[in-house]
Chains A and B, each alone.
Chain A
Amino acid sequence: EIVLTQSPATLSLSPGERATLSCRASQSVSSQLAWYQQKPGQAPRLLIYDASNRAAGIPARLSGSGSGTDFTLTISSLEPEDFAVYYCQQRISWPPTFGGGTKVEIK
Chain B
Amino acid sequence: EVQLVESGGGLVQPGGSLRLSCAASGFTFSTYPMGWVRQAPGKGLEWVSTISGSTTKTYYADSVKGRFTISRDNSKNTLYLQMNSLRAEDTALYYCAKYFSVNSGSIFDYWGQGTLVTVSS
Contact = CB atoms under 8 A, between A and B. Distances in A.
Interface of A: 32, 34, 36, 42-46, 49-50, 55, 87, 89, 91-92, 94-101
Given A44-B45, A98-B47, A91 B113 contact: no
B102 interface: no
Given A43-B95, A43-B113, A99 B44 contact: yes
B77 to A, nearest CB: 19
A99 B59 CA distance: 20
B108 A95 contact: no
A46 B113 contact: no
B112 interface: yes
Contacts of B1: none
A96 B112 CA distance: 19
B111 interface: yes
Contacts of A44: 37, 45, 95, 108, 111
Contact of A34 (B44, B107, B111): B107
Contacts of A45: 111
A89 B100 contact: no
A107 B111 CA distance: 30
A43 B112 contact: yes
A100 B111 CA distance: 19
B111 A43 contact: yes
Contacts of B105: 32, 91-92, 96
A46 B109 contact: yes
Contacts of B107: 34, 46, 49-50, 91
Contact of B106 (A50, A55, A87, A96): A96
B44 A46 contact: no
Contacts of A46: 100, 107-110
3 smallest beta-carbon distances between A and B, as pairs: A96-B106, A43-B111, A91-B105
Contact of A95 (B47, B100, B110, B112): B47
Contacts of A50: 107
A50 B6 CA distance: 28
B53 interface: no
Contacts of B11: none
